[in-house]
A and B are shown apart, each in its own frame.
Chain A
Amino acid sequence: MTDQEQASKISEIIEAYPADQRFALAAMQDMQHAFNYIPEEGLSALAAYLGCAEAQLYSMATFYKALSLTPKGDHIVKICNGTACHLRGAMNLATELKRNLGIDPGETTEDGTFSVELVNCLGSCALAPVMLVDGTYHNKLRVDQIPGIIESYANGEVVSAHD
């Protein structure tokens, strides 16, 4: 996406809402969805549009977990750490991912291929432990299955669009 395309996309997103503070979160979520993060230009454009301080939006962008200020990887691996998954070894999955990808939850691999996130309950407690890769569920997952799953995404066997 060129800078110009990004700028016009940002305007399109922002101007879909009335210039009212109450739509700040919604506009930022739309940007998150469109760009996989909130670009700096988006934050300042929204502040100008709403007539609020950029710092206030920055505060929100760092407060809400659904928003991110840095680009995420091509594949987003979410490990559910809801209580049911936790009891059934969610942290072991995180450890195994670290062994495979070299990153902790919250980080993105240097080549930008994977981001790993430890997320709150996904509501699939009956299938614990659950790992979600780009919207695809991997249920009752065992640690030894992880290398194969990661491999299949890394070498392009599985290509999935972001949810």
Chain B
Amino acid sequence: MSEMLTITIDGKECTCEKGEYIYDVARRNNIPIPVLCRSDAFADHRACCRICIVEVEERGRRKVVTSCVYPVSQECAVYTKSEKILEERAVIFALLAHRAPDAKRIAEMNASMGSDGFDRLVTIDNEKCILCGLCVQACDSLGTGAISTVLRGTEKKVDTPYDRPSEFCVGCLSCANVCPTGAIEYAQTDTTRTIWNREFDLVFCEKCGNLMGTPESIQHAVGAQGEAPRVCDECRKRELADEMMQTYRYV
């Protein structure tokens, strides 16, 4: 068992394992810290949105750190709402809100900060993406690798290579689902789905008729050599259960 430490977060004593991230300790203790680029789905955090900043005081020295990746290494006092943090978080929210004026969630979060003085900032028309990178992380973790960040600096964006429909995209919607601001748009008809400019067919369960996904995503899930299932997970489970029941009945 690893070493246990006691730290304070906003004055509240919290016990944690050495090496645990401050954000995780705070969440366990019901102390809210806003995050955007962090998802429980991934063990690695990109720590790029920077709104989860907190102040940490260790051995009398106080510094601003990113709570989602800052490991507790010694006794310390954490401040999630110090004057400095509130000010800087407000600036970061204002920056995000002006980058992505069409992202509703960001606008709401920004409004809740109640800060002013940012009317002067410029906005990007019709933008929703805050470049948190979760979509790329999701796509990579599935092994599809259809999208990536493109360019750098203020020009950075997420895209498929050459801004063309990607042959590697399987239309699984993981990127769109993990996106905190609804920036990845897709369209769906009764029989097709379009995402990243590529149109996919849709496959329905032979048993219940529920949507199973695109043929590409179903095949991807079982590997290139695997046999694609024709019924949905639910129905397969039910089939299995039926089989089991049949078996036991004979016993």
Residues of B contacting A56 with CB < 8 Å?
A: 145, 148
A residues 54-103 in Cβ contact with B at 8 Å: 54-56, 58-59, 62-63, 69
Residues of A contacting B145 with CB < 8 Å?
A: 52-56
Asked if A43 is at the interface (CB within 8 A of a chain B CB), the reply is yes
Asked if B147 is at the interface (CB within 8 A of a chain A CB), the reply is yes
Judge whether A43 and B152 touch: CB under 8 Å: no
Candidates B139, B140, B146, B152; contact of A63 at CB < 8 Å: B152
Judge whether A58 and B162 touch: CB under 8 Å: yes
Q: How large is the interface on A (under 10, 10 to 19, 20 to 34, 35 or more residues)?
A: 10 to 19
Q: How far is A40 from B152 in the complex, measured between Cα atoms in Å?
A: 20
Asked if B151 is at the interface (CB within 8 A of a chain A CB), the reply is yes
Judge whether B168 and A59 touch: CB under 8 Å: no
With A43-B161, A58-B162 already in contact, the answer to whether A53 and B168 are too (CB < 8 A) is: yes
B residues 140-162 in Cβ contact with A at 8 Å: 140, 144-152, 160-162
Judge whether B151 and A55 touch: CB under 8 Å: no
Main secondary structure of the interface of A (DSSP, over half): helix
Judge whether B147 and A62 touch: CB under 8 Å: no
Residues of B contacting A40 with CB < 8 Å?
A: 162
Residues of A contacting B161 with CB < 8 Å?
A: 43, 54-55, 58
Most buried by A among B148, B149, B150, B152: B148
Q: Give, as a whole number of angstroms, the nearest-CB distance from A116 to chain B.
A: 18
A64 to B, closest residue via Cβ: B152
Judge whether A55 and B162 touch: CB under 8 Å: no
Q: Give, as a whole number of angstroms, the nearest-CB distance from A41 to chain B.
A: 12
Q: How far is A27 from B133 in the complex, measured between Cα atoms in Å?
A: 26
Residues of A contacting B151 with CB < 8 Å?
A: 62-63
In the A-B complex, the 6 residue pairs with the smallest Cβ-Cβ separation, listed nearest first, are A53-B145, A59-B148, A58-B161, A55-B148, A62-B151, A62-B150
A/B interface sample: 22 pairs, CB < 8 A:
A40-B162, A52-B145, A53-B140, A53-B145, A53-B146, A53-B168, A54-B168, A55-B139, A55-B145, A55-B161, A55-B166, A58-B148, A58-B150, A58-B161, A58-B162, A59-B148, A62-B150, A62-B151, A62-B152, A63-B149, A63-B152, A69-B162
